[in-house]
Chains A and B, each alone.
Chain A
Amino acid sequence: MFAAENGLKGDPRLQAISDAIRVVPHFPKQGIMFQDITTLLLDHKAFKHTIDIFVDRYRDMDISVIAGVEARGFMFGPSIALAIGAKFVPLRKPKKLPGEVISEAYELEYGTDCLEMHVGAVPPGERVIVIDDLVATGGTLSAAIRLLERVGAQVVECACVIGLPEVKGQRRLNGKPLYILVEPREIDGCC
C-alpha cells in the first residue's frame, strides 16, 4: 500500500522524495526506466524525510530487526534500525557473508539468483521489517520473506521507497503487507 493512501496523503515530504529520484532510461537494458535513488541520497533533506517516514511508522511496532536487501537496502536500512533501536541484518548475494548461512533461491527474468542470511542473526519470534529501495516483481522480497520465515522470524511488513506498477493494487506480498513511499517517476515525452 502506498504511504499517500495510508495516512500521509498530501504530505509534502512524499513529493520532495519523488522529485529527488532520477530516472535513467534504458538501464540496465532497452525499455527499462531505471529509478535511480542515488540522487535522493544527495539531497540531505529528502533522504532524511525518507528515513523519518519509515521510522515514524515502525518506531512503535515493536520491531527488533530491520533486514536490508543488498546493496541498496543497505543504504536505507541501518539508519532506520539505529533510530528505532533494532538490529540490522544484511541479506546478501551468494558468498559474501563469511559465516554459516542459509540460502533462498529466487527467479529472475532469465535464470535464478540466491539470497543469503547468516545463521543465528535472527532468533525465532523476532519481528522483522524487510527493506529495499524498490519493489518490481517482488521476487527478491519474496525470497527475503521466505528466508526469515524459515528461521521462525515474523515478517511484519516489507518497506520500499519505490513501488513499480506490477505491485500497484497489491497490498500484500506472500501474504505480507507492503509499504511503499512513492510510485516511479516518469519522464515526459520520453520514448
Chain B
Amino acid sequence: MHRALIFSSLNPIYSKLSTTTASPDSAVFPKRDGGWIGPPPVFRLQNYKRTLLPPLCSASDSVANQPKMASQDEQDPRISKISSAIRVIPNFPKPGIMFQDITTLLLDTKAFRDTIDLFVERYRGKDISVVAGIEARGFIFGPPIALAIGAKFVPMRKPNKLPGEVISEEYSLEYGTDIMEMHVGAVQAGERALIIDDLIATGGTLCAAIKLLERVGVHVVECACVIELPELKGRERLGDKPLFVLVSST
C-alpha cells in the first residue's frame, strides 16, 4: 500500500507544523515501531490524523483577527479512538479500493459521541443556520450536529427521492455522471451553511453540493467530513472552500 507523505510542501499548514519545536515525545507525533521516523515525519497513515485547520471564523470576526493557534499543534485525544473505530474493508465496492466503513464508528457510542462533539465544538456559535448532509451517510452525522448548533438540516439527495420541487446539479463520477438534488426553498440567500459527508475522496460530490447551495445564494462556510483520502486531492478540488476533517487515511 502506498504511504503518503503527511507533510507536503504544497500545504502551508503542514509546512508550518513541521518547523515547530514540538518534541518527538509530544502527543502529535507518536513513535512508530519504537523509533522516530526522521524529519519530516513519514507516517503509515492507517487512519491516523489530527485536526489541523485553524479555528473557524464566525460571521462577526474580521479577516484581520488571527485565531489562537495554540491548540492547533496538538491532537485532540478523542481523534485516535475515532480513527481506530473505523473499519477498512478491502476491495469494496471493487478490487483495489480500501473502503472506509464508518458503521463500526456508529457502534462505538463514545467515539460516535466524540465525533459529533468535535464538529459541534467547531461550529457552535458561528452563525451557521444550515447543515447540508449528503445522501446517505451525511444523513447520519448531519442532523445531530444541526440539532446541537440550532441549525436546519437539509438533505442533498440522489435524483427522484425528494418529493417537492428541486434544483439539480450534475457531477462527474469515475465513469459517467450523477445528479444531486436539493429542495427549492429549503435554504434562503444569505444563509451560512456547512456541508457534511462521512468522507471526501475526489471531492466531486462535495463540489456539487457547494454549487447547489451557492446557486441559491447561500454562503458555504466549510465542508466537514469524518475522513479524508488525501491522495485523491479532494481538498484541492474544493478550491477556496475550507475543508475540516477528523481523520486522514491512505
Contacts and interface: CB of A to CB of B under 8 A. Distances in A.
A binds B: yes
A41 to B, nearest CB: 4
A79 B147 contact: yes
Interface string B185-198: 01000000000000
Given A44-B151, A47-B147, A82 B163 contact: no
Size range of the chain A interface in the assembly:
35 or more
Given A90-B106, A97-B103, A98-B93, A41 B140 contact: no
In the A-B complex, the 9 residue pairs with the closest CB atoms:
A24-B163, A74-B139, A98-B89, A27-B163, A98-B92, A41-B153, A88-B106, A42-B152, A34-B163
A51 B147 contact: yes
Interface in B88-104: 89, 92-93, 99, 101, 103
Contacts of B89: 98-99
Among B107, B137, B146, residue most surrounded by chain A Cβ atoms (within 10 Å): B107
A173 to B, nearest CB: 24
A95 B183 CA distance: 27
Contacts, number: 106
Nearest to A26: B163
Interface of A: 22, 24, 27-28, 34, 36, 38, 41-44, 47-48, 51, 70-72, 74-76, 78-79, 81-82, 85-90, 92, 95-99, 118, 121
Given A75-B153, A82-B112, A98-B93, A90 B103 contact: yes
* B-side interface mostly: mixed
A144 B97 CA distance: 29
B53 interface: no
A78 B140 contact: yes
Given A78-B144, A98-B101, A38 B106 contact: no
Contacts of A98: 89, 92-93, 99, 101
A92 B101 CA distance: 14
Contacts of A74: 136-137, 139-140
Contact of B103 (A28, A43, A81, A121): A121
Given A87-B106, A98-B89, A38 B139 contact: no
Nearest to A99: B89
10 contacts: A28-B163, A41-B146, A44-B146, A51-B147, A78-B144, A82-B116, A87-B106, A87-B112, A97-B103, A121-B107
A89 B157 CA distance: 21
Contacts of A76: 143
Contacts of B136: 70-71, 74, 90, 92, 96
A82 B107 CA distance: 11
Interface in B112-150: 112-113, 116, 135-137, 139-141, 143-144, 146-147, 150
B186 A38 contact: yes
